[in-house]
Amino acid sequence: MFYPDKAIEEWEDRRVAAMGEDTVVCRLKERRTSLGFTQRQVAEGTEMNVRTVINIEKGKTIPNLLYAMKLAKFLGVRVEEVFEYK
């Protein structure tokens, strides 16, 4: 069962989360750095805590739908370009 408001711990180092057979790949850091943004700028632009942005990039947290949409909007891309469900 998927609970979007709860962070999922214990991601692999490559920012991949596995939930049973479900996997989410996070490309936030790649998108952010390609656009020249700092983690602090992303946090301020999305009204998120900078620690949350860092944890998402490190794969320690999966953002809920609202945060995923805020991140994608700030970066000017679709959610699917930042977070991929496999």
Residue 47 has pLDDT above 90, yes or no: yes
Whole-number Å distance between alpha carbons of 46 and 64: 13
Q: What is the pLDDT of residue 20?
A: 56
pLDDT band of residue 67 (cuts 50, 70, 90) is very high
Q: What share of the chain is helix, strand, coil (3-state, %, to 5)?
A: 45, 15, 40
Residue 11, pLDDT > 50, answer no
Q: Which of 2-6, 34-38, 62-66, 70-74 has the lowest mean pLDDT?
A: 2-6
CA-based nearest residue to 61, from 10, 1, 3, 7: 7
Between the alpha carbon of residue 74 and those of residues 18, 52, 60, 68, the distances in Å are 26, 15, 21, 10
pTM summary value: 0.72
Compute, in degrees rounded to 10, the torsion defined by CA atoms 30, 31, 36, 39. -80
Domains in the chain (CATH in brackets) are 26-85 (1.10.260.40)
| pLDDT at 27 > cutoff 50 | yes
